Amino acid sequence: MSKKDDADEVFRISAAGRSLTDDVSLRTRRYLISMAVRTLCFIGCVISFLVFKNEVIGWILLVGTLILPYIAVVVANGGRERPRELPTTTLMEPQQGLPPAEQS
């Protein structure tokens, strides 16, 4: 291993979660995907009613169009995830201690 390889190695020293910027970015991406699906449901609803004259699929897509914003907001505002498990701070193996002090 060269010195450069040693410098690039990163050790995880805590159970800290992802950064706030990463968390907000992930939640924004989830919300935008949900809204894209909602837009597709709406377009499919209009096409189903007007072009194919299929009311069953049209109503199903309309319900999806109405429910998806609520689901998207709940998922996006769900809050930051906590770490699954905190690192242990206790010693795994008992260590030998000092002998008791002599009394004189």
**pTM (whole model) above 0.85:** no
Tokens 């050790």 correspond to what residue? 11
User: Rounded distance, CA 93 to CA 41, Å?
Assistant: 59
Largest CA distance in the chain: 102
Q: Which of 24, 28, 64 is nearest to 43 (CA)?
A: 64
In the chain, where are the structural domains located? 20-76
- Reported as type and span, the H/E element at residue 54 is none
User: Rounded distance, CA 86 to CA 99, Å?
Assistant: 33
Per-residue pLDDT of the chain (104 residues), as tens digits, is 555 555 566 655 665 667 788 888 888 898 899 999 999 999 999 999 999 899 999 999 999 999 999 988 888 887 666 656 655 555 556 666 777 888 86
Tokens 């996006």 correspond to what residue? 76
